[in-house]
Amino acid sequence: MSYELIDSEKLNQLILSIEVLNEQVRELSNKSKITEKKIYTNSEIRELFGVQDKLIRKYRDDGKLAYHKEGDKFWYTQEDIDQFLSHNHYEAYAYN
């Protein structure tokens, strides 16, 4: 294995290049987290909420729970769930 000495200018250029690459990797990682969407099925919603299919159907039919439909399959995004929960959130009013 051979070694080569580099001067401080080349070292600084190398360090700067590594920092730029590191920032680009960080940006790409953040973008992938933003575009990543979780999609839920009826059974996952049922398990998440701890309710039966009838109640999920009622929430959909009453327009309380947004959904996406393809054929006879229903799909829910995290945004659909968050919106449902925020519209049905009540602040606590009794404190000990």
- The yes-or-no verdict on residue 51 having pLDDT over 80 is yes
Q: What is the pLDDT of residue 64?
A: 94
Per-residue pLDDT tens over the stretch 18-38: 999 999 998 887 776 655 668
Least confident of 27-31, 46-50, 69-73, 86-90: 27-31
pTM: 0.56
In whole numbers, what is the pLDDT of the chain averaged over residues?
Answer: 88
Q: Has residue 56 got a pLDDT over 90?
A: yes
* Residue scoring higher pLDDT (61 or 88): 61
- Residue 56 CB coordination number (10 Å): 19
Q: If 0-12 CB within 10 Å is exposed, 13-18 middle and 19+ buried, where does residue 65 land?
A: buried
